[in-house]
Every structure is written in structure tokens, then in C-alpha cells.
Amino acid sequence: MDVFDKCIKWDFVKKLRLNDAYPYFKPIQEKMGTRAIVDHRHMIMIGSNDYLGLSGDSRIVQASFETLQRYGASSCGSRFLNGTTTLHIELEEQLAQFMNREKAIVFSTGYQTNLGVISSILGRNDVAIIDRQVHASIIDALRLASCKILRFKHNDMEDLEKKLKTVPKDTAKLIIVDGVFSMEGDIANLRDIITIKRQYGARLLVDDAHGIGILGKYGRGTGEYFNVESEIDLITGTFSKSFGSLGGFVAGDLDIVDYIQHQGRSMIFSASMTPASVGASLKALEIIRNEPERRHQLNENTKYFISGLRALGFNTGNSETPIVPIHIGDTMRTFVFWKRLMHSGIYTNPIISPAVQEGNELLRTSLMSTHTKEELNTALRLFEEIGLDLGIISGQKKKIVAK
């Protein structure tokens, strides 16, 4: 028996490549806001998490360039030793102020944030109660923590309470949910989760990677959206979505975050967030604070696109956010739909198991505040044309997009 046998025998990807249906690791040759060039084709990008359109904003690019000139390309060390710059501290202070928290610290990526936070605060005798659809980084962090894990049905408060009833009262408990769920775009039922949390003496961590910057009056995310910010014990987030940069952070009470900073292995044993990413994130935070019109336009684009898809007969689930799923329910049909859209100049993301459960395969689209009505109408027309041809929609619904 050879440890590499499973690699050699694994033929799923080989078959996709043979059928010119391999959808992953597609090299983007150029990206210009809502447009991209892939395989030498000009595309409308509706598969990016750049919700506020900041990754290519000239102010963000300039901030990155100025930081590069001042600090170089890398700190070449971990935050714990030689990798902390004055800009890291400034970003953390600005984040804590923005999030109305006592302290915030930044990690090199959002993935590493969840890894470091969760594995440092949970131990073998603790229990994590998680929504079944939380991000993979949370699952990996819990494996590292070696704690007991209880999973409740997605956004099902009755099942959450059922799971909590099985945990002894004197056991330390942490409920973990995404604020906005990354595949289907629906929002965690935070008000009810908090009511249950109080009743059972649990703590609450919200991974708001896809909520911060787009939800709430000031863009502070899901907690602000539901007016329950003070009831959330820890918030994790990322700079690779609305901020248009790279990195992650956790915000919460001083003692808790200070402990994480000195115990989180992905903080201590990883090189720090690059200076250019820190500079870009600082400038993005300034823009998020001062330009609420970006959130307003994003909300308008989201409503327009979802209503257009639903009017054509597509199933977009319960999404209320710029993450808009098109449910297909079959792996090969999902890949075929994705391929037809790519050849027509529309960039989307095909999502299959294990990212979603088998039978829930979908195309994941995501909107930007900088999308124009013309771009959205073009995408809707192509979705209609290909959806009809593949039998995914019937053509009986009202057509709202002019030819």
C-alpha cells in the first residue's frame, strides 16, 4: 500500500479536464473592476467578493504603493517577534474604534484568524455548538482545538436549543455562526440565537467575513444590522471581501483578545500581514466609514439582480445579500451551466459538494456596488437564454429584461 495511491486513482478532476469542464484555478489575465479577461475572453465579473468595488480603487492602490515604499514588500517575521509595524497597530486601533470594541488584532488571512481565535479559546473540556453551514476555516479550527463539537441544522433555532440542552450546565459553551453564509447569502438569525445563548449561559462568536462593510447603517455587519452588537462576544472578519485587500481580524473585549494574541498559533507562528495589505486595509476602512453610498448602491444592485432572476424562474434561495445563489441541484448540470456562461462572457463560481450538501449544487454569483444596470441586464439575458436551453427554467415566468 502506497500513501500516494489515493492521489493516483483520484479521477474526478481528470475527467473534468478531459471534457473541458474543469472550473477551478482559472487564471485571470486582467481584472478591471467589474470586468476581467479570462482565457483571452472579456468577461463581466459576477464571481468576486469585492462587494464595494475597492480592490481596484485608485486610492487603495496608491495607499499600497506608499506603504511598499516605506516598509518594503514583507516584514519577514511573525507579529510576535519582528513582524509588527506601526501600521499594524494603527489598523488595529482604527478597527477597534470602528467595531465599538475594546481591542482588535489582525492576522495574515481570514482563514488564519478563525484558526488562531477558536483553537486558542477552546480546549478539550469545552463544547462548540455550530451551524452546519459555517465556513471550512471554523471546522479546521475546531479540529485543532480538540473540543467537543455539536452541529445544529442551518439557522434552525429549535435544533440549536435541542443541542444546548444536552450540554451540562457547568460546561463552557461557545456558539459559532457565520453572520452571512458564504455559499447561499442568507443571514444568521442573530436575535433568536442571542436569546437562546442567554438562556443556556453560552458565549457567541460570529464570523462576519461577508457582512462587515455591507450590512448595517455604518457597515459594521450583521450585529449592527440586527441591533445586537453588544450581545456578540467575539467578531471575526476579513479584509479580502469588502475591504478589497488581504488579511483578517478579531474584535472583542480587551482581556479576551489579548489572550488570543499571545496564544493563537496562527498569529505567533506565521509571518505578519504584508505592509501593502495593511496600508490598503486602512484606506479601505476610511472609505467604508465615509462613503455609505457604496453600500446603498450595492443594496440596489442586489435587489435588482435577485428580483430579475426570480422573475425568470430561477431559485435563489433565501439570499438577502450580494451573494446570490442559483440552485441547480446536480453537479454536471452546474458545470455545464457554468461553462456556457463563461463562453458567453459571464464569470460565476460553480459550487458542489462538499462546499454544499449533495443535491444542493449551485452557481454562486456575487454583486458589486460598481456593477452597472447594463452589465446586470446582460447577465440576466444570458442566464435566461442558457437556463431555458438547459431546462433549468421553463420560460413561463414574466420576462422583465428587455431584449
Contacts of 10 (CB under 8 A, 6+ apart): none
User: What is the CB neighbour count within 10 angstroms for residue 21?
Assistant: 15
Q: Could you tell me if 323 and 210 are in contact, meaning their C-beta atoms sit under 8 angstroms apart?
A: yes
Our answer to whether residue 182 is catalytic in this structure is yes
Choose the catalytic residue: 182, 270, 319, 366.
Answer: 182
Q: Could you tell me if 186 and 225 are in contact, meaning their C-beta atoms sit under 8 angstroms apart?
A: no
Our answer to whether residue 373 is catalytic in this structure is no
CA dist 184 and 356 (Å) reads 9
Q: End-to-end alpha-carbon separation of the chain, Å?
A: 60
Contacts of 38 (CB under 8 A, 6+ apart): 26, 27, 28, 29, 342, 347
3-state SS of 137-189?
HHHHHHHHHCCEEEEECCCCHHHHHHHHHCCCCCCCEEEEEECECCCCCCECC
Choose the catalytic residue: 135, 241, 327, 371.
Answer: 241
Q: Could you tell me if 346 and 44 are in contact, meaning their C-beta atoms sit under 8 angstroms apart?
A: yes
Choose the catalytic residue: 210, 283, 327, 371.
Answer: 210
- C-alpha closest to that of 48 among 237, 323, 245, 316: 323
Our answer to whether residue 163 is catalytic in this structure is no
CA dist 120 and 130 (Å) reads 17
Strands 35-38 and 103-107: unpaired
Q: Could you tell me if 290 and 314 are in contact, meaning their C-beta atoms sit under 8 angstroms apart?
A: no
Strands 362-366 and 35-38: unpaired
CA dist 128 and 263 (Å) reads 19
Strands 323-327 and 362-366: antiparallel
Q: Which residues are catalytic?
A: 182, 210, 241
